[in-house]
Amino acid sequence: MKPSSETPAPDAAGTQANALPEQSAALSPQREVPRRIWLDPILIAGVALSAFLTWLALRNIPLSELTEAFRSMNQSVLLPAIALTYIIMWLRALRWRLLLLAVGNASRSQAFNSSVIGYMVNYIIPVRIGELVRAYLVATQDGFSRSSAFATVVVERLVDVFCVLLIFAGVSIAMDFSGVSSQIQAGIRSSALGFLVVGTLVIIGLWALRRHRNLLIRKLQSGKTRWHPLIGQQAWRIGVFADGIVFPKSSRLRLWFLCQTVAIWITTVGQVWILLDGFYFSLPWEASWLMLVALAVGVSLPSAPGLIGTFHYAIILVLRGFGVVGADAVSYAIVLHAVSVLPILALGIVMVWHKGLSFRELIRVRHSGPEAP
């Protein structure tokens, strides 16, 4: 699917929609974009939240106890845990490519490279620019609509959210609540069911958008004089976005998509379990799965760069529920964060340098031409 057949006009710089933003003096307002990013209210709130949660996590914990907790860890588990970080990223890229194949011809390597760079940008600037960046990069490289590529990112994220809700519901049903009051038990299970219903409704809504895209576009275009002119003028974007709300076409690819999704979550929980074993924590199986649910919530919150604080406190809360507290819980959270984030940061920086990109260009993707979602 070529962008030229879907976009009615070039972008503000007069270039094709999928070109990287030009570093031109004529676009002097864009020179302010990186500065505005760091003044984003969401980022400022995230830094404040991260600072508060970091203080909560570290208060009343002597540095000597934290150092001793690190020393008592079996450090031989670090290398396998780091390897699993790259394996998880590779699996995610392969799964995303199955969605991209429905809107264009994306290679495995390009899907992986774009994913790594996108995650790296999310870690450095946690205002979800990375989701736009990886869609932008893969569309630019392989020549199809950025809006459709971004829609596949949305679908992929919703699949992950739905999986987290399933995990939460499954664990809440199977978990032993013998030491918990009946009110809390009922609250956890009803919350899990409620979240699952909401996730299902969102997926149904996207399916309806995809199925009835033409009808919706006609309604918006016909109503542009009654509502707002821009609504009708921009209705075509909804169509391009809806084109990316797809699942693999063949039954074989759908089964492969399901298998890769299962592999991603099993590998992720395996990484959590390996580190638990490295710290000699004897916890039930529910602990690893609940950490995934807690992390999904923690990393979705506004945070400082690197997910500092929100990532750690989510893990600490789960460990506290299983009796692991103090320096033991904090040291585990720090190590899990390090093996999950630092390898992707390092590889992403290398890829940006190798491709001749700049962080300024990647940040400007958020404010690029009309094809940007």
Output the pLDDT for position 178.
Answer: 61
Picking from 155, 127, 114, the residue whose alpha carbon sits closest to that of residue 36 is: 127
**Confidence at residue 101, expressed as pLDDT on a 0 to 100 scale:** 85
Q: State residue 9's pLDDT score.
A: 41
Cα angle, residue 174 at apex, residues 173 and 180 outer, rounded to 5°: 75
Phi/psi at 225 (5° precision)? -80, -25
Are 139 and 274 in contact by the 8 Å Cβ rule? The answer is no
- CA-nearest of 294, 305, 373, 371 to 19 is 371
Concatenating the DSSP letter of every residue in 24-41 gives -GGGGGGGGHHHHHHT-H
What are residue 372's phi and psi, to 5 degrees? -65, 135
Q: According to the model, what pLDDT value does residue 265 have?
A: 95
Q: What is the pLDDT of residue 30?
A: 45
Per-residue pLDDT of the chain (373 residues; tens, 9 = 90+): 444 444 444 443 334 434 444 333 333 444 455 556 667 788 888 899 999 999 999 998 999 999 999 999 999 999 999 999 999 999 999 999 998 887 778 889 999 999 999 999 989 887 778 888 998 898 887 777 777 788 888 888 888 888 888 888 788 777 766 655 565 566 666 777 777 777 777 777 777 776 766 666 666 666 554 555 555 555 555 655 565 566 677 788 889 999 999 999 999 999 999 999 999 998 888 889 989 988 988 888 888 888 999 999 999 998 988 889 999 999 999 999 999 999 999 999 999 998 888 877 787 776 554 454 4
The candidate with the shortest Cα–Cα distance to 324, out of 360, 368, 272, is 272
- How many whole angstroms separate alpha carbon 372 and alpha carbon 135? 10
Give the burial class of 90: count Cβ atoms within 10 A of its Cβ; 0-12 exposed, 13-18 middle, 19 or more buried.
middle
Q: Which residue type sits at 271?
A: Q
Q: What is the pLDDT of residue 262?
A: 94
